[in-house]
Structure 1
Amino acid sequence: MQLETYISDLLYRYDCVTIPEFGAFLTQRLSAKIHESTHTFYPPKKALSFNEQLQQNDGLLANYIAEVEKIPYTTALIKVSKQVKSIKSLLAEGETIQLENIGELVLNADEKTQFSPSNSINYLTDAFGLSHFTSSDVNREIYKETVEAIEDVTPIVLTPEKRSNRNWLKYAAAAVLFLGVGGFVATAYYNNSIESHNQLAQEEANEQLDAKVQEATFVISNPLPAATLSLEKQSGNYHIVAGAFRVEANSERKVKQLRDKGFKARKIGMNRYGLHEVVYASFETREDAQRELYKVRREHNRDAWLLIKKLD
């Protein structure tokens, strides 16, 4: 059993995942930051830590394993206990435990478990797809002093141009006035002619339309064919769970709400606890389901989770 795989899945949805009789992995949200010396921009993330004091079983890990592997809860709890004993034995021998996408565990000189988190994955679904990047320095050049120095050496002097004869301006103004009045009169005449022509054409068109309506007989000789509605049947063993409900009417109401939002929601039956399960959609492959799960967590419900279940 790959215990780190189940822990990693739960860390996307929960801030605390407890391993009974061993400890708990905790997450804390950190804001985006900028490294001043390297000019590197880091996106927001969940910082991962380990607390050896939290060993009380809360049922979260064992329940998830039981659902995924389709085994009883007690059997899942026994498998977790065996894995914990193996990890403790290796740590006592001085081994370093590598948990993929989580980090490293090792015993220090005081026989305490020391944890070094991995930086290969960001468990904050809001920051999915974001990575750090480095920006170069922005150099701002100042030209003010250079301009002032040029002005001191070569001052700019504006000299108005002299005109000896301005009589031609009078004739030009008179010509412009004459052309403006003539153009206004011609435009008014043209607009009036166009308006009269359009009015006559509209009246003629209305008379023809009235005649056609009076003579028309409405017979539907070629009725439209009957509409055929094809429904896409949901299939696949990978389901994105929206919730489980004790009352069936509540599950049907949840399905309607999700379908109104564009999801291919449906009920997939009752689980081992007698709850009616509602899913956003079902998929044939784990990759497609995981891709849609990230989208649902980011845009709709951060508590949605993946269920692997073969339906009858």
Structure 2
Amino acid sequence: MVEKHIKSLLYDHDCVIIPEFGGLIARYVPACINPVKHTLSPPSKKIAFNEKLVLNDGLLISTIAHYNRITKDEAQQRVAEFVHKAKSDLQQEKRFELSDIGIFRYNAERRLVFEHTEADNMLEESFGLPELSARPVKVQEPAVLRTLIRERQQELVEEKQPLRRRIKRAYNLAAGLALAGLSVSAFYFLSLQDNYNLSSLSPVAAFTSTGFSNPAVAEPNRYTADYVPFTEEERTGYYAQLLPTAIEAQEGNEFDPAGTSIASGVVVDGFESEEVVQEATAPAEVVEEAAPAHIIYTKDGRSYLISGGYARLENAEHYRETLLEAGHEEVNILLPQPGSRLFRVALADFETPEEAQEALNNYKQKFGETLWVLNN
């Protein structure tokens, strides 16, 4: 009951004294802004407490007697009971609360301390004014400036994309050149090896040959109905052109059709010498050297163990000499067969393919896994 009258008096008065307890003082507080909460508070009253104001000014007791229609003695008795209860709570619970006004406590020095509770705004001029929340205002550029900024950003993005394409294109070109350089270097170092076996690189044999086939001349197709293979005479005549021939003929003499040498008369000191007719020496016969024994240029029905294939006969001869120096006695060279341009070097020959297959494993242990059987 007493708390209700104290609160109503604080709306109209700046000071309300509670006899034998202390005085509540209301002071004006202007409108303020909370920078943390971003709030705007209207003007209000803030309540303070002074424990030295204990003398009874009659305001509180008169108000209680008037509103409750009781005597001042009864009103003073009610105030005394309220003060006794407040002091008892402070002694036992160390705190005493006035509803919607504040809280009383004892500090470490045993002095009474009051904390105002901002529940209601007791300033009548601020009646109905709420606390306002103000959100921070974002600084924005004008619409024209924003449009220009977006256009500039789009231009920058478009400029970056071609640059990335150029960088990617240059990277791909550099990678291709590096790969091509490595491939050329590998083939170059392989070509430096004289005894390198080209049979293991049969897919590349066409590119390592001395020349390429003329694309305008179509090679015969063995699978067509009108295909006519080369005859034995044609093959023999073609390979004979590749083999060395020696034609020795006597030079410096003039021969007549009858086979006699004619020396014309010579005038010496005014006398003409007699004609001398001598029998002419028989002309040297054109001798065609036979093919070396180690060169096989015809089909003989035998099976050969092939160690390597070479595009030039000189290279095949060089490889054969290397094998002979290594201690291998029988090394033959097979001339190219129809459809092939390689001169094949054979380590051994057998009558039947079965015998060649049986001996193949033994030769592989010595000459490598690239050996294979050719049925001539």
User: Relative contact order (alpha carbons < 8 A, sep ≥ 6): 1 or 2 greater?
Assistant: 1
TM-score by length of 1: 0.45
Rg (Cα) greater in structure: 2
TM-score by length of 2: 0.38
